[in-house]
Structure 1
Amino acid sequence: MRTALALRTALVATATLLTTATVLTPPASAADKLPYSDQCTFPNGEYPGRPWALQRVLLDELWSRSKGKGVRVAVIDTGVDVKNPQLTAAVDTKAGRNLLPKNLKDDDGDPIERGAENGTTDTVGHGTKVAGIIAARPLDGTGFVGLAPEATVIPIQQNDAEGHGDTKSLAAAIRYAVQAGAGVINISQDTSNAVRPTSDLELAVDEALDRNVVVVASAGNDGLGGNVKETYPASYEGVLAVAASDRNNERASFSQSGDFVGVAAPGVDIVSTVPQGGHCSDNGTSFSAPYVAGVAALLKARHPDWTAREIVAQIEQTAERTIAGHDRLVGWGVVDPVRALTEDDRPIESPSPRNGLGGAEAPSPAKFHTGETPDERNTRLATYVVVAAAVLAAGLGGTAVAIRDARRRARRVAGA
């Protein structure tokens, strides 16, 4: 029976995606390459440039530190389509799982195709986008690439367009991800109406954290109008909850706010991979979370001995912020991948409000002087020096004239 606890993908700002983004067109051959279209069809053309969310990152500097090699990232979502060439080599198809119930039926009682047992069927496109943001491989013809292009994705299909996933299947997916060797788990979904789910989901999260797995979750898209409420599993202690930021590094209007938010990441006009090939753009904290999960994978590869708490603290500490400490809109700030990988001399357990704030020093107030100021004194002394030098020059000039006249008189006397 479906209840208010049933999970939905966190796409409130683009809710129609679940029902309209599954338009399929025949695959294009190499000789008949599809042009890129803003319409999110499957397949689609390749995005020709470098998306803005990647332009703000010095990728060469970032990847000189880590590319995520050896780190396994579980994408608990609607599946990951490996037909997209940027994901074919990025996904561990043997480790993938489909945890949707069997014998699914729609509202009319007709059977619903469940998809591949290894989680590589994605009729929604949501999970394929999430996976691409994390670990898409470079491809000629596009500037889009995953932040951790050598990490490995474990596809775990736990939800679908009809929202058949629930807290029970999500808890099972988290436990399976740990068994499959995930070092990072990305969960881009939350419970309906922000209802606190049964304790088993929290227990599954705690089990993952105890195994030193970094758990990243989207904060949710119900933030319009200043709405503030906790969402799950993002609000569980130890989970890194990710809000969405825009091109100005400010909270996206739809992004959920609250004290549980850890950091923010780009979540507006986010380009990523789609089933069968190509790209499209979308909005939501669903796509901010994998951006952070990619950074976590980079840190995991660079510091395999760090704990999950230390990796989360590093991401929070190095985030770009304009105020000291944490706020409920963007948490500790907008994630800075390069800074997270370069200011990593030692692990920390929690971020410090005193550190990480950039910007110029505040101006100091002018001092009021009742007497001569240092500048006035210096000016006066300089005047003395100039006058003295002029007097000395004049004196030397007069002396020289007197000596010359005396010599002339002496020569006249001698001649007489």
Structure 2
Amino acid sequence: MTTATAVAALALAPCAYASPVPARPAPVLDGSGECTFPMKKQIEGRPWSLQRVLFDELWQDTKGKGVRVAVIDTGVDIANPQLKPAVDAKSGADYLKPEKDASGEQNDKRGKTGGTVDEVGHGTKVAGIIAARPRAGTGFVGLAPEATIIPIRQNDEKNSGKTDTMAKAIDHAIAQHADVINISQDTTEPQGPESDLAKAVRRALDKQIVVVASAGNDGMDGKLKETYPAAFPGVLAVASSDRNNERAVFSQPGTFVGVAAPGVDVVSTVPGNGQCSDNGTSFSAPYVAGVAALLRAKYPYAKTKWTAAQIVARIEQTAERSVNGHDNFVGWGVVDPVRAVTDDSPPQAAAHPDPGPPKAAAPDVAELALSETPQERNERYATYALGIAALLVAVVAGTATVLRDARRRGARRMNGVPERS
């Protein structure tokens, strides 16, 4: 089975999951050029997106234990060994209608799975990036490998999900005590503040749940556009970055973008077994959600009173920036998981530009001497004249003494008077 590609959105404000985008051919194990599953082999090396992270530093305080992350997506498959211990199947839900079989009878298989069947593979990849457990034979692991996943199936390869079912999914996440909600779906249809989706998001934020959403994959033209739920106030909207920390060409830009995260050749778990790599803001959002899970574990609201807004601000403030301020393409920068988790600065309500270099101390004011006055100049000249006159007197007196002595000696010689020894 192959990963679903982008399909046309349905009417009535559908929520299209941010489907994989082939920014460039992704390396896969079977050589087909597609992300297939289940995989017979595992990806052995550590993916580039995780090579950016020093795990010893990232996990020195927590690995996310006790934090619950709701994945509102296409379901989360628990057959994959890296996800089975991470998923709380009993807390899941399925908001897609059961299909009818060939006889016209409803097939209730989907409705009873609690969100643990993923026929697309999209939600399974999202969940793996957040909380996949370590496994021998692969360098891939989730950023918060002790967090718990709440699987909520709300969409499929047909984009059957709607904004009203997403709102219900968010309310279910709240009821299941989610600390973080990841939504790798978007709709470009405007959603006003009184829409069901906007109200559900506000209810989650009021419960101090960190809501992370993908910005969308329609950014090839570079034009600013708002997507929802990412553009709602309080939601951490995530764009995609590449290996050079630059915006991936498909990533949707906008004033609402909070940060960027790896979204090209991103490795994660697939249904059944193994891993594969894919592209899209769908896989950037859970990268950030994993960081949010670690921060929420370090700063639980019940003990520290760190709000969801302060968690978001910490992620944005510690991002690796290319400009000193906000950018419509990568937000406040590319997320830096280690810096976000290890920074011990006091919490802040919102991100802000970094302070500039400290101002140099003002130099001491030097006193400027004025030119001498005419009186001072006359006194100086008079001093010079006195000195010269005294010198001339001394010279004249000395010369006279020498001449006098010379005359006396000459007179004595003429008179035959011997000189005194």
- Fold similarity call, TM over 0.5: yes
- Structure 1 equivalent of residue 265 of structure 2: 269
- The one-letter code matched in structure 1 to 2:17 is T
Distance in 1 separating the partners of 2:287 and 2:106: 35
Matched, 1:5 2:1: no
Distance in 2 separating the partners of 1:248 and 1:104: 47
How far does residue 342 in structure 1 lie from its aligned partner after superposition?
Answer: 1.3
Question: Helix, strand or coil: the match of 2:71?
Answer: strand
Distance in 1 separating the partners of 2:72 and 2:16: 12
> Does the CA contact (< 8 Å) of 2:20 and 2:282 recur in 1?
no
Deviation readout 1:376-402 (Å, 9 max, x if unpaired): xxxxxxxxxxxxxxxxxxxxxxxxxxx
> Does the CA contact (< 8 Å) of 1:104 and 1:114 recur in 2?
no
- Structure 2 equivalent of residue 330 of structure 1: 330
How far does residue 104 in structure 1 lie from its aligned partner after superposition?
Answer: 5.7
> Does the CA contact (< 8 Å) of 2:179 and 2:208 recur in 1?
yes
How far does residue 352 in structure 1 lie from its aligned partner after superposition?
Answer: 1.9
- Structure 2 equivalent of residue 307 of structure 1: 307
For residue 40 of structure 1, the aligned residue among 35, 45, 63 is 35
Sequence identity (%): 62
- The one-letter code matched in structure 2 to 1:244 is S
> Does the CA contact (< 8 Å) of 2:191 and 2:197 recur in 1?
no
Distance in 2 separating the partners of 1:91 and 1:210: 25
How far does residue 14 in structure 1 lie from its aligned partner after superposition?
Answer: 5.0
Deviation readout 1:253-303 (Å, 9 max, x if unpaired): 000001000000000000000000101100000000000000000000001
Alignment of 1:82-93 (within 5 A): 82-93=78-89
- The one-letter code matched in structure 1 to 2:18 is A
Normalised by the size of structure 1, how large is the TM-score?
Answer: 0.77
Q: CA RMSD in A?
A: 2.5
Distance in 2 separating the partners of 1:142 and 1:36: 16
For residue 236 of structure 1, the aligned residue among 217, 232, 239 is 232
Deviation readout 1:323-369 (Å, 9 max, x if unpaired): 111010100000000000111332111112125x8xx99xxxxxxxx
Matched, 1:136 2:132: yes
Distance in 2 separating the partners of 1:236 and 1:96: 25
Question: Helix, strand or coil: the match of 1:241?
Answer: strand
Normalised by the size of structure 2, how large is the TM-score?
Answer: 0.76
- The one-letter code matched in structure 2 to 1:8 is A
- The one-letter code matched in structure 1 to 2:37 is F
For residue 287 of structure 1, the aligned residue among 283, 287, 304 is 283
> Does the CA contact (< 8 Å) of 2:12 and 2:162 recur in 1?
no
Deviation readout 1:223-243 (Å, 9 max, x if unpaired): 002122000000000000000
Matched, 1:254 2:257: no
How far does residue 122 in structure 1 lie from its aligned partner after superposition?
Answer: 0.3
How far does residue 78 in structure 1 lie from its aligned partner after superposition?
Answer: 0.3
Question: Helix, strand or coil: the match of 1:224?
Answer: coil
> Does the CA contact (< 8 Å) of 1:76 and 1:188 recur in 2?
yes
Deviation readout 1:156-197 (Å, 9 max, x if unpaired): 000111111101100000000000010000000001x44436
Alignment of 1:147-296 (within 5 A): 147-191=143-187, 193-196=188-191, 199-296=195-292
- The one-letter code matched in structure 2 to 1:141 is G
Question: Helix, strand or coil: the match of 2:21?
Answer: helix
- The one-letter code matched in structure 1 to 2:317 is Q
How far does residue 8 in structure 1 lie from its aligned partner after superposition?
Answer: 1.1
| Gap runs ≥5 in structure 2 | 1-8, 359-421
| Gap runs ≥5 in structure 1 | 16-33, 362-416
How far does residue 315 in structure 1 lie from its aligned partner after superposition?
Answer: 0.1
- The one-letter code matched in structure 2 to 1:330 is V
Question: Helix, strand or coil: the match of 2:13?
Answer: coil
Distance in 2 separating the partners of 1:194 and 1:65: 41
Deviation readout 1:93-129 (Å, 9 max, x if unpaired): 11111111234689xx997776243110001000000
Distance change (3 Å), C-alpha of 1:258 and 1:104: farther
Distance in 2 separating the partners of 1:99 and 1:187: 14
Distance change (3 Å), C-alpha of 1:168 and 1:50: same
Distance change (3 Å), C-alpha of 1:217 and 1:35: closer
- Structure 2 equivalent of residue 347 of structure 1: 347
Deviation readout 1:302-337 (Å, 9 max, x if unpaired): 011211000000000000002111010100000000
Question: Helix, strand or coil: the match of 1:226?
Answer: coil
> Does the CA contact (< 8 Å) of 1:36 and 1:279 recur in 2?
no
> Does the CA contact (< 8 Å) of 1:265 and 1:288 recur in 2?
yes
> Does the CA contact (< 8 Å) of 1:36 and 1:47 recur in 2?
no
Alignment of 1:396-415 (within 5 A): none
Distance change (3 Å), C-alpha of 1:261 and 1:271: same
Would you say how many aligned residue pairs link Structure 1 and Structure 2? 338
Distance in 2 separating the partners of 1:4 and 1:14: 28
- Structure 2 equivalent of residue 100 of structure 1: 96
Distance change (3 Å), C-alpha of 1:123 and 1:303: same
Distance in 1 separating the partners of 2:198 and 2:260: 23
